Amino acid sequence: MEKLKVGQTLYEVVRNEIIEREIKVIGRKYFYIEQNCGNANFSIESLKYTCKDYSQYNRQLYISKQELEDKEEKRKLIFKIEKVFNSFNSASQLSLEQARAIDKIIFGGDDETKQH
């Protein structure tokens, strides 16, 4: 991970919206961003919020907006894929060609006799 700097912009998702956060202070283990109710401290190592109060336990900052957008896209794609395979009707609607293509992507082979 690149070294953090005071004034650097990081990114966070808040209520499905990407918010820019500016680093105000950097210590040895934590850095601080300013927010409506004062400063919030995050781990330099993980970029995670360190105060585990009841409402903010899962906050995560990202170095780049693209990193955050990629993570969100991956989450949505996995959800969409899981929805197909968790529903017997949906999965049974796949054609043989689609099932073979999925098998090849997941298991990396095209040998029909391969045991998974």
Residue 24 lies in a domain: yes
Residue 95 lies in a domain: yes
Short-list 69, 61, 58, CA closest to 8: 61
CA distances from 38 to 19, 21, 42, 44, 114 (A): 16, 13, 13, 19, 59
Shared domain check, 58 and 14: yes
Of the chain, the end-to-end C-alpha distance in Å amounts to 37
pLDDT tens readout for residues 50-107: 776 665 567 899 999 999 999 989 999 999 888 888 876 777 888 999 889 988 998 9
pLDDT at 96: 92
Shared domain check, 35 and 18: yes
Who has greater pLDDT, 90 or 46?
Answer: 46
Question: Domain of 71?
Answer: 67-107
Residue 55 lies in a domain: yes
Shared domain check, 59 and 13: yes
Residue 1 lies in a domain: no
Q: How many domains does the chain have?
A: 2
Short-list 29, 113, 14, 107, CA closest to 61: 14
Residue 4 lies in a domain: no
Query: What is the pTM assigned to this prediction?
Result: 0.68
